Amino acid sequence: MTLSSVHHIVRVRRAEDLTFIRPGVMDEIIVNANQLENSPESTATAIQQTTLPYSIDSVLTRFQVPEWWKNEKGETKRNYDRLGTAYVKGTSIEIAAGPLLETVPSDREWAILAANVIDYQRNRLVQLRPQMDLFRPELKPSRLMAPALVAFTDAEDRINQLLASAAAEAAGEPVALPMVIPAERLRDVSELDRILECAPTDGISSYFLWTPRVTEELLLSDKSLLGGVLHLVSRLAGRGIPIGHMHATYVIAALHDIGISAVVHHMGWVDKGEPADENRGGLRSCQTYVPGVRHCVRFDTARALGRQLEAAAYMERFCNCTFCSGSFDAGQHPLDLLLEDRVVHMRNRPDRLTPTSRAVALNTWHYLLARRQEIEAFSAHPAVDVLATDIDRAAALAGGRESDRLRRLAEELQTA
Amino acid sequence: MTRDRRDALLDQDWSAVWETLPEAPPLVARPKTAQITLRIPTRLLSRIKAVAAAKSLPYHALARAWILDALRTSAPPVNSAIADEPHAEQLNIKLDNESLDVLKKRADVLRRPYHRLAREWIEAALTREEESIGIDPSLAARPAIKDLMVLLLHSPGRRGDDAIRGMTRLQKLLFVVEQKLASERSRFYAYNFGPFSEEVNDAAHALQLAGFLTGSEAVTAQPPSFAEIIATAEGRSGQDDEAEGQEFALNERGHAAAERLRKSSRAYDQLFAYIRQLRQEWDTASLNRLVDRVYEDWPNFTDKSLIKGKVEARSVRRRRS
């Protein structure tokens, strides 16, 4: 069987992520519009320097429910304020005044909003360029994305349909269509069919599935959720339009054989089921991604699994990414760097261990490189073959429990 | 020809026939295109560039299109809103000779110099485009924070050292520069420690990613090597405890970029000279002294400050001593 490769897209959620974007580690980046509002200059510079294709996620869903755009003080953040102003230009919409569905008065204004979102994606990075960058090549997004709401009910389905066609018309070219489906509807095949009926094909270049709060563990443990994703992918695949997934876990990449052709993930290796959620600060937990078992574990578990392994065994079972192999070449065990932590003294709370900044940076590279290897494996080989190899690897590294987890996935895929 | 014949021809009145004769061919063939050079205010040029960037067009071509459009529609002359500003920049526009002739004729009819007419048409078209795109002209005309930062870091400090130590100092110095240039619609706002703009942090990060600051490597279009991976991690190893210890200084590439920027126009050359002077005046050895002066001179940016009382007490003590 010949497989087309999986297009690998990495999401930029904060300015720090820009240090880690590189060709070879990803094929493209998608930038959250709220992050773009915070750091347009550095984002433009990173894109120009790396020459990576980019697109912009309008994050319109953030305006859907007040709690999603307000900060802890209950105020609208400045970046959302600017974004909202751009999106409602030429309308009577007061975007941060209440739930979006109740704030937009007419279909005509929804259509203007969709056109504004397209305009934003096209022009945000070329407007107001500094004098020192005027002669650099201008930036154009690789694809335009229709705005979409989380499809809680039929009401959102109707608006999503309207937004998609208005966005395609404003763009003058086919647009990517995000389909944001909450877990409650994902479990119900009849609900999925209603959503699919409303998802247009005309003017659509690709579909991007988005299943908020569905972690990899939940997907593996709840058959109805995985069944819902499989149902969606197989039905959409019949339309002949490429399908991407916005939360690229190992399980999702394994769905390449049944129709997933692009995956998007952010740079955080702790799976919270939120593909676009911004980092709200706070101390990081001491967890690292273990490619040998295809999920993240706590530092002490990672130490127990891999620290005693010599270079050859480590690279065969634990990880053989550029960082880990380079570390052995430099005479250092990679886990000594990846698991570096420090004590943080907290006011009125017990002291806490947190990874050092250096360990956070190295874990980011390690995770990106490992995920790249997984996506390349699913691009090059049938999922069952990749899984068979990974089951053996997980068993060798961590024993039966970890390999059983992957075996369950293999069984599900074979049934599908 | 006989003498009589020649005299007869000279005696004849040819004036009526003269007008019917065809034009003599030029001795040297006229080029198809000609260039006109318009002197325009710096602010106008920045606005043209901003609109051109938004429309993804070269700004010379856009200005030419506006002139041709005005000729085609026989646009009326307009009164310039910025006629009093010094025309410090020049804009070279290539026109075909036919269009240039029409422009000159039109200017003649309207009793205006053709350069002035072209400039007015450009200004009128620019205003229309800004309205339709939604660009605020006052914002488009001002230098970007990134440009100001590069020029600030290119200027020598009081000790002859061009590094700026700490984000607070960088924020405050750029705030002073912005306020001294034009204070309306400031990009800074009152925050926890006085005037603040996230654009400063963003611009500093952009210079770092471009590899213009000392200790920074440009992000590249190559997959990362092990050495680069370690370098990015080591670059962050100091961030755990000492955010204020960061030092901002241009490296060789950064200074070269700053020189290119300075030489990009007369306005930027003048801007650099002004920023250099401001840095000498404001970049005091003591950060507290700089903060205190900023709080004293721009109290409306200190409303939300968490250290306002402390700064005021310090200023009172200084005045007493």
Kindly indicate the confidence band of residue A67, based on its pLDDT and cuts at 50, 70 and 90: confident
CA nearest A345 in B: which residue? B241
Tell me whether residue A383 is in a domain: yes
Q: Given a cut of 50, is residue A24 above it in pLDDT?
A: yes
Task: Report the residue from B224, B239, B257 with minimal CB separation from A357.
Answer: B239
Three-state DSSP at A61 gives helix
Task: Give the CATH number for residue A175.
Answer: 3.20.20
Query: Which residues on chain A are in Cβ contact (under 8 Å) with B198?
Result: 38-39, 78
Query: Which residues on chain B are in Cβ contact (under 8 Å) with A123?
Result: 54, 133
Task: Report the residue from A126, A140, A358 with minimal CB separation from B233.
Answer: A358
pLDDT for the residue B242? 47
Mutate to test the interface with B, among A35, A43, A120, A127 (most CBs of B within 10 A): A127
pLDDT for the residue B139? 67
Whether B221 and A89 lie within 8 Å, measured CB to CB: no
Query: Which residues on chain B are in Cβ contact (under 8 Å) with A116?
Result: none
Query: Which residues on chain A are in Cβ contact (under 8 Å) with B199?
Result: 41
Q: How far is B213 from chain A (nearest CA, A)?
A: 13
Q: Which of A45-54, A370-379, A403-412, B181-190 has the lowest mean pLDDT?
A: B181-190
Whether A132 and B232 lie within 8 Å, measured CB to CB: no
- The amino acid at residue A199 is A
Instruction: Say if residue A186 is in the same domain as residue A58.
Output: yes
Q: What is the 3-state secondary structure (H, E, C) of chain B?
A: CCHHHHHHHHHCCCHHHHCCCCCCCCCCCCCCEEEEEEEECHHHHHHHHHHHHHCCCCHHHHHHHHHHHHHHCCCCCCCCCCCCCCCCEEEEEEEEHHHHHHHHHHHHHCCCCHHHHHHHHHHHHHHHHHHHHCCCHHHHCCCCHHHHHHHHHHCCCCCCCCCEECHHHHHHHHHHHHHHHCCCCCCCEEECCEEECHHHHHHHHHHHHCCCECCCCCCCCCCCCHHHHHHHHHHHHHHHCCHHHCEECECHHHHHHHHHHHCCCHHHHHHHHHHHHHHHHHCCCCHHHHHHHHHHHCHHHCCCCCCHHHHHHHHHHHHHC
Instruction: Say if residue A253 is in the same domain as residue A343.
Output: no
B188-217 residues touching A, CB cutoff 8 A: 198-199, 201-203, 205-210
Kindly indicate the confidence band of residue A272, based on its pLDDT and cuts at 50, 70 and 90: confident
Query: Which residues on chain A are in Cβ contact (under 8 Å) with B154?
Result: none
Q: Given a cut of 50, is residue B115 above it in pLDDT?
A: yes
A330-349 residues touching B, CB cutoff 8 A: 330, 337, 342
Domain count, chain A: 2
Q: Given a cut of 60, is residue A1 above it in pLDDT?
A: no
Whether A358 and B234 lie within 8 Å, measured CB to CB: yes
Tell me whether residue A271 is in a domain: no
Instruction: Say if residue A291 is in the same domain as residue A258.
Output: no
Q: Given a cut of 60, is residue B239 above it in pLDDT?
A: no
pLDDT for the residue A278? 67
Beta carbons within 10 angstroms of residue B3's beta carbon:
7
Tell me whether residue A273 is in a domain: no
Mean pLDDT of B165-176: 95
| Under 8 Å between Cβ of A29 and A47 | yes
A58-117 residues touching B, CB cutoff 8 A: 78, 89
Q: Given a cut of 60, is residue B244 above it in pLDDT?
A: no
pLDDT for the residue A2? 45
Instruction: Say if residue A364 is in the same domain as residue A323.
Output: yes
| Residues spanned by the domain of A382 | 287-415
pLDDT for the residue A401? 86
Q: What is the distance of C-alpha A187 from the center of its chain?
A: 21
Residue where a domain terminates, one of A199, A233, A265: A265
pLDDT for the residue A17? 95
Instruction: Say if residue A99 is in the same domain as residue A236.
Output: yes
| Portion of chain A with pLDDT greater than 70, in percent | 96
Q: What is the mean pLDDT of chain A?
A: 92
Instruction: Say if residue A260 is in the same domain as residue A292.
Output: no
CATH 1.10.1220 range(s) for chain B read 33-140
Residue A19 forms contact with B (CB below 8 Å): yes
Task: Report the residue from A19, A22, A357 with minimal CB separation from B223.
Answer: A22
Kindly indicate the confidence band of residue A199, based on its pLDDT and cuts at 50, 70 and 90: very high
Kindly indicate the confidence band of residue B240, based on its pLDDT and cuts at 50, 70 and 90: low
A38-57 residues touching B, CB cutoff 8 A: 38-42, 44-46, 49-52
Instruction: Say if residue A240 is in the same domain as residue A357.
Output: no
Query: Which residues on chain A are in Cβ contact (under 8 Å) with B226?
Result: 322-323, 325-327, 329-330
**Residues A127-178: tens digit of each pLDDT:** 656 777 766 677 889 999 999 999 999 999 999 999 999 999 999 999 999 9
Instruction: Say if residue A167 is in the same domain as residue A26.
Output: yes
Instruction: Say if residue A184 is in the same domain as residue A327.
Output: no
Residue where a domain terminates, one of A265, A295, A327: A265
Tell me whether residue A259 is in a domain: yes
Q: Given a cut of 70, is residue B238 above it in pLDDT?
A: no
Kindly indicate the confidence band of residue B53, based on its pLDDT and cuts at 50, 70 and 90: confident
Task: Report the residue from B150, B223, B237 with minimal CB separation from A358.
Answer: B237
Kindly indicate the confidence band of residue B183, based on its pLDDT and cuts at 50, 70 and 90: low
Q: Helix, strand, coil shares of chain A as percentages rounded to 5? A: 50, 15, 35
Tell me whether residue A2 is in a domain: no
Task: Report the residue from B53, B134, B236 with minimal CB separation from A357.
Answer: B236
Tell me whether residue A281 is in a domain: no
Instruction: Say if residue A19 is in the same domain as residue A139.
Output: yes
pLDDT for the residue B87? 78
Mean pLDDT of B142-170: 91
**Residues B197-236: tens digit of each pLDDT:** 999 999 999 999 999 999 888 888 999 999 999 998 987 7
**Residues B266-321: tens digit of each pLDDT:** 888 989 999 999 999 999 989 999 999 999 999 999 999 999 999 999 988 888 87
Residue B224 forms contact with A (CB below 8 Å): yes
Runs of H (alpha helix) within A172-222 = 183-186, 189-198, 216-221
ipTM associated with this complex: 0.90
Q: What is the pTM of this model?
A: 0.84
Half-sphere exposure of A366 toward its Cβ, with a 13 Å CA cutoff? 32
pLDDT for the residue A128? 58
Instruction: Identify the CATH assignment for B33-140 out of 1.10.760, 1.10.1220, 3.30.70, 2.70.70.
Output: 1.10.1220
Count Cβ–Cβ pairs < 8 Å, chain A vs chain B. 153
Task: Report the residue from A22, A132, A358 with minimal CB separation from B146.
Answer: A132
Q: Given a cut of 70, is residue A206 above it in pLDDT?
A: yes
* CA distances from residue B40 to B55, B63, B82, B115, B143 in whole angstroms, order as listed: 21, 12, 9, 10, 17
